[in-house]
Structure 1
């Protein structure tokens, strides 16, 4: 594909600019970007730090928006840490890219197009001048009427406005790098929408990021429950879990592994959700969970047999019968975490789990790794064998994903949010859960 670089000429472009445009370009370049020239009347920048990239990353601004982008950068506009969006604390504004499920995209936009918003939206003082809707939406309207997909609402009490409209030039510039100039998004194709939060200047700058995300989340919730519009935040980093293919691919054979249908369905569902690491993890955990009762029964039977085989066991003596009863009671009181430890101890081959951690990035599994609130795994720890350490970590991680209790007792174990940085870092833990689930399936055959 032609990358269009022959159409870029920095010096000729700068020579044609007016002084205020040159000043804006210098301001943008002072923030880590470099003007390469223009293409089709659009300013083309690239990142200065490209040493680690195989090719340049291009960013685009319409010339009539260059001053706006420069001003935002000067005032501290930065990308949000977890979601695709921009926070400008000094301006007390933030915006987050939103999207709908790909199978409902057009339908949801048609629904949104018909929405009215509260009548006091013009009293806030903001000049809400909506961009025209994307052409494919307006063309579908039988009347041919053009109506903007978006809204602008406010709260006089909170002195805050919320707006859904096409992403701002600054957001497009900072969050949409392209590898090919010929692919740039200002060629008239569909544009992205963002949910914008605009605070009063009395808002504490330090609270803009947190408060804006909270308000944006509340807005998405109400749109879903009141208006039937299901929007989701676009994650800054889109992660898809993948697994290495076997080194030697065997021939396809008639199935010999006897696996219950429901377990096979859970294992297969993980492959349907590879773009959602927490879902993949939970699918494999459910496979392990399926076998917990079996492992618990086997362990309980071991305890009973040990008591019954004791040479001093006498069914005619109360003391030995009470001892047997106590053993049975203890087996009933085993927690799910302890059951998981038993399962992995009895069903996972130590050499397999050792091999896994030898080839893994152990920094991820350390207490300095990206996942907080879960135990670390340490090789060659005499007090805890690897299967036990793995059980502790897997169970704690499961709790972080499924538990969202409003209880001070759980303050130290926050819920692991989907599409968050932690969720996007789960791949090694997902691989561990997959290995454990596979091992348990294999060794449960007898």
Structure 2
């Protein structure tokens, strides 16, 4: 049976035949979608004939072989469909100036998408380019750079190319180079902040509709390293990026962020079940502390920062730790008091009560969480959640997050709530602990803009379910 990739190429071949003919008609299908379709009956004025050189036709075919499918052409740009974009969307569009089609086809063989950031890197990792944005978007990045970080007549001490952006000075006296190129002859590394060249934009930028990126230039951080071990180069590059962003924030008060490869988010679709009916408003029946309500609300606000979302729901659980400990201690004390052998005048009887109280005070956070989930969470609700096909592999040993214990509903030795406790608490520790301590060496910190962080969706939905179950349980007590 032909692979899916080969099937797509077969389906797309009529388009290539149109391209190879040198002419095609671009017909509008709907507001957001164009396709190459021959339509001899289109009225005059609706037809757009496009002449392409043999080199451009060959370039389109070469780019298609890399998985980007020809889509349309407009305003001097050629648009491709990316049906497997590094953005979390079902598909996006990538555009390239017609003049740069041949260069794009030649260069696409030499570059890979960066694994963590929205960017590209060559095979030996001597060149890496990542997209950057303002962490706080008060104004466009280009305008901010113009007044904060810029240089004139920059040259590279190591002879590498420098392509800074240019604009006129405010007094009109001449061009100013916007950006910078800095080098370390000791490390053999150069770092440049400058506009992304057309080919980089083609691979890095994905758009929801087929259109060209216009307006102010898109800036990227570029890192050049000397030839050597690709793994060493990759580590050196990340160290250079981290140090550069830190110093821009600390010295220049310019807070830039590297754009993650994936767009992490918890959507309403993620949170609602397949069988959930339409929403019908009702007067609220839940009475919960303001702290818990606020944490639930904040978790929804930071949906693009998944570790924060996770911690917000965890804190909602954490709010109830003292409450469940008190309830458990009171129940244990009453059990001792109602014991037939209890005598108020007997020191041993009184000591048993004191021991109960001391044990409740000595319980650690993880023990309190075990108690809370055991008392408040319905096992069938947890099993129903874990039986979802989307969650099954995520919570297994083969899941994308290291240092997080698996949850196996078929485990006869531990309840599902106990397994959930161990996993949620381990993830909490990976997010909040950044200590250089052997105690936490088994699993490194889970960084906010990392591949693991962007895989947290199922764990967030799990801790959200647990927090909801606790709130529901408290309504009945």
Into which bin does the TM-score normalised by the smaller protein fall? 0.7 to 0.9
Is residue 376 of structure 2 the alignment partner of residue 347 of structure 1? Answer: yes
Find the counterpart in structure 2 of residue 189 from structure 1. Answer: 215
Matches within 5 A, 1:65-104: 65-66=100-101, 68-74=103-109, 76-90=110-124, 92-101=126-135, 103-104=137-138
Is residue 236 of structure 2 the alignment partner of residue 211 of structure 1? Answer: yes
Matches within 5 A, 1:11-410: 13-15=52-54, 17=55, 28=63, 31-32=66-67, 39-42=74-77, 58-62=93-97, 65-66=100-101, 68-74=103-109, 76-90=110-124, 92-101=126-135, 103-106=137-140, 109-110=143-144, 112-116=146-150, 122-132=156-166, 141=170, 146-178=175-207, 180-181=209-210, 183-185=211-213, 188-201=214-227, 203-242=228-267, 243-244=271-272, 247-249=276-278, 251-359=280-388, 361-410=391-440
Q: Deviation string for 1:334-391 (max 9, x for gaps)? A: 1101100111111223333233223352111111111221111111433222222211
Q: Deviation string for 1:114-167 (max 9, x for gaps)? A: 42459985423123132335xxxx79x575865343111111221111000112
Kept after mapping to 1: 8 A contact 2:142/2:216: no
Shift of 1:440: 1.2
Structure 1 pair 30/244, CA: closer, same or farther in 2 (3 Å)?
closer
Tell me the SS of whatever aligns to 1:147. Answer: strand
Shift of 1:22: 8.0
Shift of 1:66: 4.8
Kept after mapping to 2: 8 A contact 1:8/1:39: no
Q: Could you state the TM-score of these two structures normalised by the residue count of structure 1?
A: 0.84
Shift of 1:174: 1.9
Shift of 1:255: 3.1
Find the counterpart in structure 1 of residue 17 from structure 2. Answer: none
Shift of 1:87: 1.0
Give the stretch that moved more between structures: 390-399 or 290-299. 390-399
Find the counterpart in structure 1 of residue 455 from structure 2. Answer: 425
Give the stretch that moved more between structures: 425-434 or 206-215. 206-215
Structure 1 pair 103/132, CA: closer, same or farther in 2 (3 Å)?
same
Shift of 1:216: 0.6
For residue 3 of structure 1, the aligned residue among 26, 34, 37 is 34
Q: Deviation string for 1:218-266 (max 9, x for gaps)? A: 1111111111111111111112202217824464333332212222111
Tell me the SS of whatever aligns to 2:367. Answer: helix
Kept after mapping to 1: 8 A contact 2:262/2:454: yes
Shift of 1:25: 6.6
Q: Distance in 1 between matches of 2:387 and 2:474?
A: 25
Q: Could you state the TM-score of these two structures normalised by the residue count of structure 2?
A: 0.79
Q: Distance in 1 between matches of 2:318 and 2:341?
A: 37
Structure 1 pair 248/3, CA: closer, same or farther in 2 (3 Å)?
closer
Report which structure shows greater RCO (CA 8 Å, sep ≥6): 1
Structure 1 pair 9/392, CA: closer, same or farther in 2 (3 Å)?
farther
Tell me the SS of whatever aligns to 1:128. Answer: coil
Q: Distance in 1 between matches of 2:404 and 2:455?
A: 13
Shift of 1:271: 1.4
Find the counterpart in structure 1 of residue 25 from structure 2. Answer: none
RMSD: 3.4
Structure 1: stretches of 5+ with no match in the other structure: none
Kept after mapping to 1: 8 A contact 2:190/2:225: yes
Q: Distance in 1 between matches of 2:385 and 2:209?
A: 39
Give the stretch that moved more between structures: 116-125 or 373-382. 116-125
Structure 1 pair 56/264, CA: closer, same or farther in 2 (3 Å)?
closer
Structure 2: stretches of 5+ with no match in the other structure: 1-30, 38-46
Q: Distance in 2 between matches of 1:215 and 1:428?
A: 33
Kept after mapping to 2: 8 A contact 1:108/1:229: no
Structure 1 pair 177/335, CA: closer, same or farther in 2 (3 Å)?
same
Give the stretch that moved more between structures: 172-181 or 412-421. 172-181
Structure 1 pair 88/107, CA: closer, same or farther in 2 (3 Å)?
closer
Tell me the SS of whatever aligns to 1:418. Answer: coil
Tell me the SS of whatever aligns to 1:161. Answer: strand
